[in-house]
């Protein structure tokens, strides 16, 4: 741009330096909002905040229970019939120890049951209003005493027939993209393995057919309008007997589906000793002999006890660590991660509701952040916590008085350390910076309280109970 008029040039320079000053000033402006806003105002601010990516995201368990119900009820039109356990009769079999109320099963498994056992179940579409409410509640950790056993042993099995239905998966994932888009999240890196998706008769779809159903839904205008980009990891279950075979199989799968699959993950309870990290070392090394450039993000250190899980997981080849809670007890590995290129995916609400860190003010997140270990905030299994990304930021800002620079760093990290293709990553970073500048301008001057009153956040169930008195 050139200015022949010296006055115009001077004015342009003044405006340019004013905008620079505005960006620097926003640190103090943000501190004013953070310290003086009511919780409701701060929630509105953080809901409208432009955000980066959600890198630690289990696709199936990130669906809100009410969305699962709505989308589940549409599956009849795709030919699926689901039955829900609403009672328990003494049928003289050995089921007594394994009863899970509101467990859902597909029609093929229902057909295998004895008539007495079938009488425990109600067709999913015929649940009464009261039963539907109980069905929703059974998918959320919303009662005192419901923690990790309820989550791992009951909620996960309850959803099984839905998670194996590619139409349900595609539709519920679409609803999630729209919700995340509205709170400023621009990228989801979700864990989804479309390897055992089922047809209505219980037979298995070849993965490419399931993926075609998914892609067809993603091409619809409502999904595109969300503006949210997505990629996937496959996930191996670390404590299963066949984990070595799973790793080999999933590397092959990712290598053939690199348009959507960008990484591999390992999950599963770390308090099950069969899943220790180094057990997988040879299998990952063997896979790397055959396949190039498949990055790894691995759950590690999501434990109550101190240990070297994060260290051992870095040796597996991981460049991102899920949770990393007990990293705080491992000084050598803390030093290794400091100012380095490994990111720890923080999941505050997950750690709280699963009772790993019941008092979040004791969470190691601020130490990692301020010690110089790259971190970002994530939602993990937000459907089961009934929470959203805004809630993660709300906890972080309220408990640890994050600065504006730190907030921006979290978003930057979530994009920079994503496994997204380089061109997409650069575009998302540029868009994120642009959106942040506009957001700063919006709140830089004038009456921020009046500006916040114009925001209509979607308040999560978790926030209503825990964040907004």
Q: Point out which residues bind Zn ion (CB under 5 A).
A: 380
Q: How far is the CB of 379 from Zn ion (least distance, A)?
A: 10
What whole-number distance in Å separates Cα of residue 174 and Cα of residue 217? 8
What whole-number distance in Å separates Cα of residue 312 and Cα of residue 296? 13
The alpha carbon dihedral of 57, 458, 451, 434 has a sign of positive
Q: How far is the CB of 297 from Zn ion (least distance, A)?
A: 10
DSSP structure string for 211-241 = HHHHHHHHTSHHHHHH--EEEEEEEEETTST
> Nearer Cβ to Zn ion, position 82 or 155?
155
> Nearer Cβ to Zn ion, position 213 or 267?
267
Q: How far is the CB of 322 from Zn ion (least distance, A)?
A: 5
> Nearer Cβ to Zn ion, position 127 or 155?
155
> Nearer Cβ to Zn ion, position 183 or 302?
302
Give the C-alpha distances (Å, rounded to integers) separating 25 from 17, 32, 415, 443, 466.
Answer: 12, 11, 25, 11, 32
Cα pseudo-dihedral 309, 395, 343, 282, rounded to 10: 30
> Nearer Cβ to Zn ion, position 309 or 380?
380
In three-state secondary structure terms, 47 is helix
Q: How far is the CB of 299 from Zn ion (least distance, A)?
A: 5
Q: How far is the CB of 311 from Zn ion (least distance, A)?
A: 19
Bridge partners for 300 per DSSP: 323
Residue nearest to Zn ion (CB): 380
> Nearer Cβ to Zn ion, position 150 or 440?
150
Q: How far is the CB of 275 from Zn ion (least distance, A)?
A: 13
In three-state secondary structure terms, 321 is strand
Beta-carbon contacts of residue 343 (< 8 Å; ≥ 6 apart):
55, 319, 320, 321, 374, 375, 376, 413, 417
Q: How far is the CB of 156 from Zn ion (least distance, A)?
A: 12
> Nearer Cβ to Zn ion, position 310 or 452?
310
Q: Are the beta carbons of 214 and 169 closer than 8 angstroms?
A: yes
What whole-number distance in Å separates Cα of residue 85 and Cα of residue 385? 22
Q: How far is the CB of 419 from Zn ion (least distance, A)?
A: 16
| Token duo for residue 14 | 């003044």
> Nearer Cβ to Zn ion, position 61 or 213?
61
């Amino acid at each position: 741009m050139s200015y022949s008029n010296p006055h115009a040039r001077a004015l342009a320079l003044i405006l340019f330096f004013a905008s620079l000053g505005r960006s620097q000033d926003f640190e103090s402006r943000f501190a004013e909002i953070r310290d003086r806003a009511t919780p409701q105002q701060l929630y509105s601010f953080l809901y409208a905040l432009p955000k980066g990516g959600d890198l630690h995201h289990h696709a199936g368990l990130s669906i809100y229970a009410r969305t699962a119900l709505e989308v589940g009820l549409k599956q009849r039109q795709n030919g699926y019939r689901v039955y829900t356990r609403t009672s328990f009769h003494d049928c003289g079999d050995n089921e007594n120890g394994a009863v899970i109320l509101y467990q859902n099963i597909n029609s093929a498994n229902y057909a295998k049951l004895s008539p007495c056992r079938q009488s425990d179940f109600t067709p999913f579409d015929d649940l009464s209003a009261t039963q539907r409410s109980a069905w929703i509640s059974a998918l959320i950790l919303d009662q005192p005493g419901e923690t990790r056993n309820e989550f791992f042993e009951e909620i996960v099995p309850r959803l099984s027939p839905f998670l194996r239905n590619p139409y349900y998966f595609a539709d519920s994932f679409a609803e999630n993209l729209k919700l995340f888009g509205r709170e400023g999240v621009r990228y989801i890196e979700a864990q989804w393995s479309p390897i055992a998706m089922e047809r209505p008769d219980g037979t298995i779809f070849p993965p490419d057919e399931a993926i075609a159903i998914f892609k067809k839904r993603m091409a619809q205008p409502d999904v595109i309008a969300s503006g949210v980009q997505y990629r996937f990891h496959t996930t191996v279950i670390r404590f299963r007997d066949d984990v070595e075979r799973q790793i080999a199989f999933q590397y092959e799968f990712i290598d053939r589906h690199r348009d959507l699959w960008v990484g591999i993950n390992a999950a599963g309870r770390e308090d099950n000793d069969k899943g220790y990290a180094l057990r997988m070392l040879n299998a990952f090394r063997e896979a790397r002999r055959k396949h190039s450039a498949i990055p790894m993000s691995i759950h590690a250190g999501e434990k109550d006890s101190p240990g070297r899980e994060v260290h051992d997981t870095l040796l597996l080849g991981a460049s991102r660590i899920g949770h990393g809670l007990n990293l705080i007890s491992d000084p050598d590995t803390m030093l290794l991660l400091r100012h380095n290129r490994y990111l720890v995916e923080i999941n505050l609400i997950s750690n709280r509701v699963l009772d790993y860190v019941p008092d979040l003010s004791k969470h190691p997140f601020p130490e990692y952040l301020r010690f110089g270990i790259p971190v970002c905030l994530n939602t993990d299994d937000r459907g089961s916590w009934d929470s959203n990304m805004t809630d993660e930021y709300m906890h972080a800002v309220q408990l640890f008085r994050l600065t504006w620079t730190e907030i921006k760093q979290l978003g930057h990290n979530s994009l920079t350390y994503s496994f997204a293709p380089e061109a997409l990553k650069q575009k998302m970073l540029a868009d994120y910076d642009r959106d942040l500048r506009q957001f700063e301008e919006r709140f830089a001057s004038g009456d921020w309280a009046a500006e916040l009153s114009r925001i209509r956040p979607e308040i999560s169930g978790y926030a209503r109970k825990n964040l907004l008195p």
